[in-house]
Structure 1
């Protein structure tokens, strides 16, 4: 009897799965307006700006010795940054001392080579004179001189000939050796002259001055730090900029998951954080194609959106914080239901539609979406009732 009761209870439970109980969360589908608005934050930036970069004329890093305050108004010729000259002056002094040493070595080596060449020349002339004397007064007659004297005279002439050949070889070898030494000294001289010129060029570029009127802005490095006195900068590194305030745009950062339906020319309303009471308008000028991370510790990725204001305002300043709302999509009189009521599997998207006293699976086709609702282009009509939860819940 107990088994019979269990079987009957199970059958009753299974038969109730497809029915819509009285407490099921049902929603009647209606024609409504579908608005997709995206909230974003960003800042103003100048479209045209002259960059301030560390000079590339020196090797190695440089240190900031003097810095004009950020957001200062500058005129042409005003000092922006002055770099420390200690390292460059040390390099110039070392290069000048090394160059003086090379020049002294060149003078000494030239005098030494000239003295050695003079000695070789004197030895050559002496050998020539001895050879001419021996040839002039050589007597081969045995009646006048003995055979031993004649042989000695012949050996002396042979010795003088060998000595002359040796001196000629020594002269040629000396010329090749001395030229190599002079070339090495000349190479060292050119190297030290290059270092000296580089140091002097760096000393001449210790100051960066403003090229035109504007406001001074500094860039942050990868750690979010702005330039300060004592900071090290590398050749060519961008330090800041002097923007043209006559043309400024908005740069917005939107979370990748929320950037649905973004397109060029969409309407944007925004407020400056410093002026929350004033609402301004603009239009999307460009949408970034690749999402990027903004901070190391933030796992979210952001899409960059550029907005062109409808009008330039006198109070626009680069770097001013912005809160904006993008009207990504607006559709009037469409069938739209909450995303919560849409389910999907390998067969596609579907909803649970009330048909009679039960919930039936109904395939649907989606159109435009917002962050909370989706347009239904096929599968539902106004007046249909759907469940926000699956039957098992």
Structure 2
């Protein structure tokens, strides 16, 4: 099934008699297993990154919420103890108090916008990590499929005739072969 060269780990002898289901060629599965192991390691790293990002996001949102509470409390105090009696306070003190209320309102809105942007950005990063994990999982699936199809079995009884390649040699253990190469034929002797 793979579309890349494979190395023959074992091949039956030339002109050997085989029964239906006997193994004719077995390919080396080490490269596929190494890729499975590497992809599993990548998934572990990505899961660690996702957990770390989730913790950072939770802590940052908590910080935003705490700061918003402080600003809201300051705003309520500024409203409660509003300086608007011209007999008790100077014009400058009243202007400063009014400016302070406006500042606290603007600060609350700014914090809410920053929290929203931060959440959007963090969720995008988490989604990216998820898609990278899915990619690694698909690599694992493909390589496990390849590991399950490392053997070529005889479709019927017969005598194996190994085919010579372009360099006039027959297939042997340790030799690399490419997809689509004919390694052997198995004439049907039943007819």
Pick from 75, 78, 100: which aligns with 1:156? 100
Aligned to 1:192: 136
Q: Could you say which residue in structure 2 is the equivalent of 1:204?
A: 148
Instruction: Give yes or no for the alignment of 1:134 onto 2:78.
Output: yes
Report whether the alignment pairs 1:83 with 2:27: yes
Counterparts of 1:187 and 1:82, CA distance in 2: 34
Q: Report the equivalent of 1:182.
A: 126
Write the distance in 2 (CA, Å) between the matches of 1:236 and 1:185: 37
The answer for unaligned runs of 5 or more in structure 1 is 1-55, 248-393
Q: In the aligned structure 1, how far is the partner of 2:52 from the partner of 2:84?
A: 50
Counterpart CA distance in 2 for 1:167 and 1:98 is 36
Give the match for residue 109 of structure 2.
Answer: 165
Q: Secondary structure at the match of 2:183?
A: strand
- 2:14 matches 1:67: no
Q: State yes or no: 1:234 paired with 2:170.
A: no
Q: Deviations over 1:69-121 (max 9, x none)?
A: 12211112211111112222222221111111111111111111111111112
1:59: how far off? 4.7
Partner of 1:115: 59
Give TM-score scaled by structure 2 length.
Answer: 0.90
Where has structure 1 moved over 3 Å in runs of 4 or more?
none
Distance 1:192 1:77 in 2: 33
* Root-mean-square deviation (Å): 1.8
Deviations 1:56-77 (A, max 9, x none): 2x35211001111122111122
Unaligned runs of 5+ in 2: none
- 2:11·2:172 contact (CA, 8 Å) conserved in 1? yes
> How far apart, CA to CA, are the structure 1 residues paired with 2:180 and 2:54?
43
The answer to which structure has the higher strand fraction is 1
- The CA distance in 2 between the partners of 1:66 and 1:205, in whole Å, is 14
> For residues 120 and 59 of structure 1, what CA distance do their matches in structure 2 show?
52
Higher-helix-fraction structure: 2
Q: TM-score of the superposition, structure 1-length normalised? A: 0.46
